Amino acid sequence: MTAKLAVSALDKRFDALEALRAIDLAVAPGEFISLVGPSGCGKTTFLRIIAGLEPATSGRVTIDGKTVTKPGGDRGFVFQNDNLLPWRTVLGNAMIGPEVAGRADAAARRRTLELLKLVGLEGFEDYHPRQLSGGMRQRVNLARALAVDPEILLMDEPFSALDAQTREIMQTELLRIWEQGRKTVLFVTHQIDEAVFLSDRVLVFARRPGRVQETVEVALPRPRTLALKRTPEFVAYVDRIWRLIEDDVRASVIEERG
Amino acid sequence: MTVSVSENHPPAAPPRAAGRDLFATLRRNHLAGLVSIATGLALWEVLSRLVVANPLFLAAPSQILGAIVSLAATGELWRHIGISSLEFVIGYAIASVLGIALGLAMASSALAKQVSQPWISGLYATPTIALAPLFILWFGIGISSKVMVVILLVLFPVTINTEAGLRTTSPRLIEMLRSFGATPRQIFLKVSLPSATPFILAGLKLGIGRGLIAVVVAELFGSRAGLGRLISQSADAFNMPELFAGVIVLAAAGIAMTAGFGWLERKLVPWTQD
């Protein structure tokens, strides 16, 4: 297997705090990988390092064999808070990537309009963020990341601010969109069922220091529908991952309370 | 005027209904305001005619209106308005450009900020209008001394707001742009500047009232023409209707310009309205 994205011996320290220790990872093209773990396990930091928003202390991140150190058009980042520009329309927000790259031409505009249609925002191109619901804003967030046609999609808990029903809809929507382009995806989440539902592989992170505790291959057939969540196989995966992180989660909850 | 859709409005439905509600509310609010002003004027009229009954102390609204009409007819009012407007416009324009530039410099350079911060904070907190007589001594009795006083009063709120607006740009929005590989220049133009615009407009709006005060007070201290001159010479002659005429014209100018700014804000920064 030639890896699309490879991470080797990655360490990250914030002064005295060891955020990430010795992370190794190889992601195949078109693979959907989720990162789960308790608060403070460094999974978001890991994603930010791959995005080039944060430098690693040591180790290497490569995409197609080339080392990355800063953000670039080969990666698209979907943020936890949608981070939409309130003064721009939906289309204007989605076009920001091509614009920054100096490629905001008619072709990019057409492609972005197609993407907005793909994420279910046809007819809302001229709306402003304040006129949209949370779910719709996250759709813009996703379209914005896709608009630079990235090879890797980095998603940082994109559905965590949504209510439970909207989240489930967005999960199936994301799979539908992913099936059409088969981009490589790294998806950070707190929700174990979300990780199992979406992924080919789930990386289970442990904390203090942040590290990959175990990798769980999810051998569930695709395309997946919400009905899958009620099958015993699905529940077994969720249970297994929950048992892996239970102690860590309890520890982090107590710490946050104290 | 277009009305923005309220936050929780389902986007699929047209915003027509919400818009009409808002218009109705506006009309009600305006009606109450108009009634309030009319009542106030009527009370004023009654009070000055029947209770005070001495135009040396209090002029009635009808007498003030008469003074405005006759001053306008002789052309004297327009001369005063012309001079004051010129002083205001020149001073305000210079202060706006200078203030925004200074604010940009302070936001983009730590050194510029350290150097200018104590001066700006100090002078903003000082009632610098007290320096107006000094400016007249330095720059003469003509327009230039008034322009300088206007600059002195308008500059600081514009500078401070520009700097604050740029400094408080959401780090999350900056990071979003950074994730697309944006250069510092792109971040400034696409995020910092637009997000600072409401602050800059608020600073400019604050400057209107301060600029008008600057014009009038500077003229009171020494001038050949202008609304401040009209007010002081009417006071010397105990001509209360003309004195009030000057004040009313100034008030109208202030209200009109502030309302104009409200319109400008709705046009330029509609996202801050909710």
> pLDDT band for position A79 (50/70/90)?
very high
Q: What is residue B149's three-state secondary structure? A: helix
Q: Structural domain tally of chain B?
A: 2
**B121 and B210 inside one domain:** yes
Please report the pLDDT score of residue B92 as a whole number: 97
Confidence (pLDDT) at A38: 85
B274 to chain A: which residues are within 8 Å by CB? 130
Model pLDDT for residues B77-102, shown as the tens digit of each residue: 999 999 999 999 999 999 999 999 99
Mutate to test the interface with B, among A74, A83, A122, A166 (most CBs of B within 10 A): A83
Residue B43 located in a structural domain: yes
CA distances from A222 to A182, A185, A197, A204, B55 (A): 12, 16, 10, 22, 91
Classify A224 as helix, strand or coil: coil
pLDDT average, residue stretch A25-39: 91
Q: Are B146 and B91 in contact (CB under 8 A)?
A: yes
- Look at B190 and A100 and tell me if their CB atoms are within 8 Å: yes
Q: How confident is residue A90, by pLDDT bands cut at 50, 70 and 90?
A: very high
Asked whether A28 and A4 are in contact (CB, 8 A), the reply is: yes
Residue of A39 and B191 predicted with greater confidence: B191
B46 and B66 belong to one structural domain: no
Mutation pick from B179, B189, B200 vs chain A, by most beta carbons of A within 10 Å, is B179
Please give, rounded to a whole number of angstroms, the shortest distance from the CA of A15 to a CA of chain B: 22
C-beta of residue A9 within 8 angstroms of C-beta of residue A222:
no
- Considering the domain architecture, whether residues B143 and B35 belong to the same structural domain is answered as no
Q: Which of B13, B14, B16 is nearest to B24 (CA)?
A: B16
User: Which residue is associated with the tokens 């009070």?
Assistant: B47
pLDDT at residue number B125? 83
- The ipTM is 0.87
Q: What residues make up the domain containing B93?
A: 56-272
B136-167 pLDDT, tens per residue?
999 999 899 999 999 999 999 999 999 999 99
Task: Answer whether A100 sits within 8 Å of B191, measured CB to CB.
Answer: no
Mean pLDDT of A26-52: 91
In this structure, the answer to whether residues B70 and B97 fall within a common structural domain is yes
pLDDT at B28: 67
- B75 with B30, same domain: the answer is no
Instruction: Give residue B5's pLDDT band: very low, low, confident or very high (50, 70, 90).
Output: very low
Q: What is the pTM of this model?
A: 0.80
CA distances from B197 to A129, B32, B158, B164, B169 (A): 18, 32, 11, 11, 11
Which of A71, A130, A136 faces B180 most closely, judged by CB atoms? A71
- 8 Å CB contact of A79 and B172: yes
Question: Residue B124 in contact with residue B153, Cβ under 8 Å?
Answer: no
pLDDT at B15: 44
The reply to whether B6 falls in a domain is no
pLDDT (tens digit per residue) in B203-233:
999 999 999 999 999 999 988 899 999 999 9
**CA pair distance A94, A99, nearest whole angstrom:** 10
Asked if residue B2 is part of any domain, the answer here is: no
Q: What is the pLDDT of residue A258?
A: 55
Say yes or no for a CB contact (<8 Å) between A101 and B178. no
Q: What is the pLDDT of residue B274?
A: 56
Closest CA to B159 of B98, B209, B108, B220: B98
Yes or no, beta carbons of A70 and B274 under 8 Å apart: no
Contacts by A123-126, CB closer than 8 A, 24 or more apart: A124/A90, A124/B11, A125/A89, A125/A90, A125/A91, A126/A89, A126/A90, A126/A91
Distance between CA atoms of B224 and B216, rounded to whole angstroms?
12
- Per-residue confidence (pLDDT) for residue B131, from 0 to 100: 87
**pLDDT at residue A190 above 60?**
yes
For the cut 50, the answer to whether the pLDDT of residue B2 exceeds it is no
B17–chain A Cβ distance below 8 A for any pair:
no
Residues B44 and B164 in one domain: no
Residue with tokens 């514009």: B158
Buried b (16+ CB within 10 A) or exposed e, B33-63: eeeeeeeeeeebeeebeeeeeeeeebbbbeb
Q: Are residues B153 and B25 in the same domain?
A: no
**Are residues B100 and B153 part of one domain?**
yes
Q: Which two tokens stand for residue A217?
A: 């291959």
Confidence of residue B7 (pLDDT cuts 50, 70, 90): very low
Dig out the tokens for A123 from the structure. 């007819």
Q: Do B274 and A130 touch (CB under 8 A)?
A: yes
- Please report residues of A whose CB lies closer than 8 A to that of B194: 85, 87
B89 and B180 co-located in one domain = yes
Evaluate if residue B180 carries a pLDDT over 60. Answer: yes
Nearest to A172 by CA among A238, A230, A224, A135: A224
Q: Which of A43-47, A223-227, B14-18 has the lowest mean pLDDT?
A: B14-18
- Same-domain check for residues B200 and B237: yes
Give the pairing type, strands A66-67 and A201-206. Answer: unpaired
Whole-number mean pLDDT of chain A? 90
The pLDDT of residue B12 is: 42
B186 and A CB contact within 8 Å: yes
Inform me whether the pLDDT recorded for B6 exceeds 50: no
CB–CB contact B180 A96 (8 Å): yes
**What are the chain B neighbours of A71 within 8 Å (beta carbons)?**
178-181
- Residue B1: predicted pLDDT: 36
Residue with tokens 């539908």: A176
d(CA B212, CA B202): 16
**For residue B51, what pLDDT is reported?**
86
- The mean per-residue pLDDT over the stretch B256-266 comes to 89
Residue of A50, A84, A100 best to disrupt the B interface, most CBs of B under 10 A: A100
Residues B35 and B104 in one domain: no
* Chain centroid, CA B127 distance in Å: 17
User: Rounded to an integer, what distance in angstroms lies between the CA atom of residue A78 and that of residue B164?
Assistant: 29
Looking at this protein, which amino acid is placed at residue A188?
V
Q: What is residue B22's predicted lDDT score, i.e. its pLDDT?
A: 63
Give the DSSP H or E segment for A217: strand A211-217
CA–CA distance, B158 with B103 (Å, rounded to integer): 8
Question: Are A136 and B11 within 8 A, CB to CB?
Answer: yes
Span A130-160, pLDDT tens digits: 999 988 999 999 999 989 989 999 999 998 8
Are B209 and B96 within one domain? yes
Q: Residue B211: which of B67, B99, B76 has the closest Cα?
A: B99
